[in-house]
Amino acid sequence: MQNEIDNEQAATLAEELGNLKAEEAQAKADRIAKEEEIVALIGSPTEGSKTHDVGSYKITIKQPINVTVDQGDAALVVSSGESHPFKSQFKLDAAKLKALKDSDPVAYEQALVAITSKPGKIAVELKPVLL
C-alpha cells in the first residue's frame, strides 16, 4: 500500500513539475518577445551597449559581436611574416587588429581573411530607479 501512495504522490509531483516547466518556458518566450518589442521600438547599437532613461527605468540594450578566427587562414597570415593581430593558438588580439588597421592597412586586410564577425544575442537589462 505504501508503494501505491508513494507512486501516486510522485506522479502528482511530476505533473506539478511538468506544469511549472511549461509555465517557465512560456514565461521565457514571453520575456524574449517583450525584449524584441523594446529593441524594435528604441533600437540597438551596432556594437557595445546603450542605456536609455524611460520613465522609472533605465533600459540598457547590449549588442555583442562574436568574433571567430579561422585557424588555417590565420596560420597562413602568421607564416607570411607580416604584422598580424593574433595571439598564440591564433586567438584574435582585438586591440592589435584595431591598431593594425591604421599602421599597416595591407597586413590588416590580410588578417581579415581569417576573421569572421557576427552579432551576438542582444541583451536587455531592466533596473528600477529608486525615487
Q: pLDDT, tens digit, for every residue of 28-55? A: 999 999 999 999 999 999 999 999 999 9
User: Does residue 97 sit in the same domain as residue 80?
Assistant: yes
Number of domains in the chain: 2
Tell me which residue has cell 540594450. Answer: 61
Q: What is the CA radius of gyration of the chain?
A: 25
Full residue range of the structural domain in which residue 108 is found? 45-131
Task: Report the alpha-carbon distance of residue 105 to residue 110 in Å, rounded.
Answer: 9
Place of cell 607580416: 82
Q: pTM, whole model, 2 decimals?
A: 0.56
Share of the chain above pLDDT 90, in %: 53
Residue with cell 541583451: 123
Residues 33, 52: one domain?
no
Whether 67 and 130 share a structural domain: yes
Place of cell 529608486: 130
